[in-house]
Amino acid sequence: MHGRRDTNSFSTRDVRTRRLPCTAYYFAPAKWYGGAVICLVVSESEARDSLVEHTVDPAVIHEVLQESYFPRLVPCRACDQRQFDEILSRVAATPDLPNVGTAVVHALSVVASAAASRCTSTPAFQYLRKTFGLLTDVETFSMPQLCIDFFGPENVATARVALKSVLILPCMPNGTVSHEVMQKIFAAFNHFRKVHNAATRSDGSLVFSTFDNITDAINLADEVLRAVELRPQTDVCLGLRLAAPATRTQKEAKDGGEVFYSMFPGEQDITGSQLAEYVREQVQASANLVVYVEDTHCDVDTIGLRRLHATIGGTAVFSGYDLYRRSKYEKVEQGLDELWTSNVVLEASAIGSLSALCDNVRMVRRHEGCTIALAPQNLMHNVAFAVHLAVGVGARFLCVGGLMDVVQCEVVSQYLYVQDELEQSRLLLEEAPKPPCAVLPDAPTDTVPEIKRRLDKKKRKK
């Protein structure tokens, strides 16, 4: 393990060279991997971010893994990924064992997959496609489009508008991201940080919240991109990640009432229909610069969801992250059947094993025109695998944090490395990624009351 590093493997070197606060280390049995010692790294922050409630002490988890997980997993060996994941899920569901959380289950599954691809001398993305039957009619692979977190408020609850993040999406006219464009995106981060004296959020994106409307944030991003000689709509486009919490309970909504949202913290709540109309107006005002929108409607707000999907789904990718995450991914099929969104964001570590993740991928694929995005979280244990996973399952998008964080930069570096390898081996599909083309719902025709903001009152007084 001291020679040329295999980017598909785990090693104790990864532990020594990264800052991992409050981290537990678990050493998987070497007989899984032909004698190689593999270190599984699971941080407490990763456990907290998992959708499964996690209150078990790391020492207890270590004991549970050693006594209950490894003895059952070792006879299977890593190369039989399906059986490995089946045993893993069965052990995780054992009632009398402490719940280790989906993040730990996911990490164990990743360890087995990475080791198996290494033992078979197969790139991880090829191994994943073949193992999980995600084969397509062509032998080539497509690179996902990067969704890079650029800037947003540190705390949405105290911002003027509930916009969690503005995203940068590098354009891919030939199915690839230009190295020069990526260098300029790095420059855009540094330029923004210096000009606005911006702090850094935990995911490597920048802190900025002094905008009154979404269009203000879009215009600011456009200005910064042009300052570093990036051409909007040619080199890069923008995305939006909304974060307006529902203020009316789901029970109330199910009883027939409308769902209300706090889109403008500290001001009057607005209905789901008003929220949809507001976002539509803001996106359309961007003159096609915004091509990706992560919605904030909750799953019981059918009217709001359908209105926004119908009105912007033809011009921007209508996507859902928290929409599916809140249900622990148990409502993905329902969302697809009811046309909640045309793009489904899957957080791999919140789902569990790779088999469970790929089941969700197949579910999305069965709905014509729908696509998936992967949002890898807490990438400390294996940065490279996140890219291989996205390529292997055919993700349309790969959502990463900001470029002021070393780990996120490693993801981008690995992304470009895999892209170059595919180009050299002529396995890269060299065409622009296809946008989702799901059938859009019919747009409601009723009139939506105008939103009255305090900002408008102040302008009238002047």
- What pLDDT digit, counting tens, does each position of 176-196 carry? 999 999 999 999 999 999 999
Examine the pLDDT at 9 and tell me if it is beyond 90: no
Reduced to 3 states (helix: H, G, I; strand: E, B; else coil), residue 250 is helix
Same domain, 106 and 196: no
Task: Decide if 79 contacts 45 (C-beta within 8 A).
Answer: no
Give CA–CA dist 390/372, Å, rounded.
9
Torsion angle in degrees (nearest 10) through CA of 333, 334, 337, 338: -150
Domain that holds residue 373: 145-424
Residue of higher predicted confidence among 4 and 329: 329
Residue of higher predicted confidence among 316 and 252: 316
| Assigned domain for 130 exists | no
Examine the pLDDT at 28 and tell me if it is beyond 60: no
- pLDDT of amino acid 433: 86
Which residues does residue 26 pair with via DSSP β-bridges, in sequence order?
Answer: 40
**Eight-class DSSP state of 369:** T
- pLDDT of amino acid 378: 61
Task: Decide if 272 contacts 303 (C-beta within 8 A).
Answer: yes
- pLDDT of amino acid 36: 36
Same domain, 81 and 212: no
Same domain, 155 and 88: no
Give CA–CA dist 208/406, Å, rounded.
20
Burial tier of 313 (Cβ tally within 10 Å: 0-12, 13-18, 19+)? buried
Average pLDDT over residues 203-217: 96
SS3 content of the chain, % helix, strand, coil (to 5): 45, 15, 40
Give CA–CA dist 344/318, Å, rounded.
9
Same domain, 93 and 179: no
Provide the pLDDT confidence category of residue 248 given band limits of 50, 70 and 90. Answer: confident
Same domain, 206 and 285: yes
Same domain, 288 and 367: yes
**Eight-class DSSP state of 394:** T
pLDDT tens per residue, range 284-294: 999 899 999 99
Count of CB atoms within 10 A of residue 115's CB? 23
| Assigned domain for 129 exists | no
pLDDT tens per residue, range 49-60: 443 444 567 888
pTM across the whole model:
0.86
Give CA–CA dist 51/351, Å, rounded.
8
Same domain, 264 and 395: yes
Same domain, 169 and 26: no
Examine the pLDDT at 162 and tell me if it is beyond 60: yes
Task: Decide if 416 contacts 182 (C-beta within 8 A).
Answer: yes
Look at residues 73, 155, 148 and name the one whose alpha carbon lies nearest to residue 108: 73
Task: Decide if 227 contacts 173 (C-beta within 8 A).
Answer: no
Same domain, 108 and 230: no
Task: Decide if 169 contacts 291 (C-beta within 8 A).
Answer: yes
Q: How many domains does the chain have?
A: 2
- pLDDT of amino acid 139: 81
Same domain, 223 and 110: no
| Assigned domain for 155 exists | yes
Give CA–CA dist 401/390, Å, rounded.
15
Task: Decide if 412 contacts 294 (C-beta within 8 A).
Answer: no
Q: And the tokens for 191? A: 């330029």
Average pLDDT over residues 136-150: 89
- Backbone phi, then psi, for 36, in 5-degree steps? -75, 140
| Assigned domain for 233 exists | yes
H runs (alpha helix) in 321-404 = 322-325, 332-337, 348-351, 354-365, 383-392
Same domain, 194 and 115: no
| Assigned domain for 51 exists | yes
Examine the pLDDT at 16 and tell me if it is beyond 90: no
| Assigned domain for 429 exists | no
Please give the mean pLDDT across all residues of the chain: 84
Count of CB atoms within 10 A of residue 126's CB? 17
Task: Decide if 375 contacts 110 (C-beta within 8 A).
Answer: no
**Eight-class DSSP state of 231:** -
Same domain, 253 and 366: yes
| Assigned domain for 4 exists | no
Average pLDDT over residues 318-346: 92
- pLDDT of amino acid 456: 57
Give CA–CA dist 327/315, Å, rounded.
28
| Assigned domain for 126 exists | no
Largest CA distance in the chain: 76
CATH of the domain at 220: 3.20.20.120
Examine the pLDDT at 308 and tell me if it is beyond 60: yes
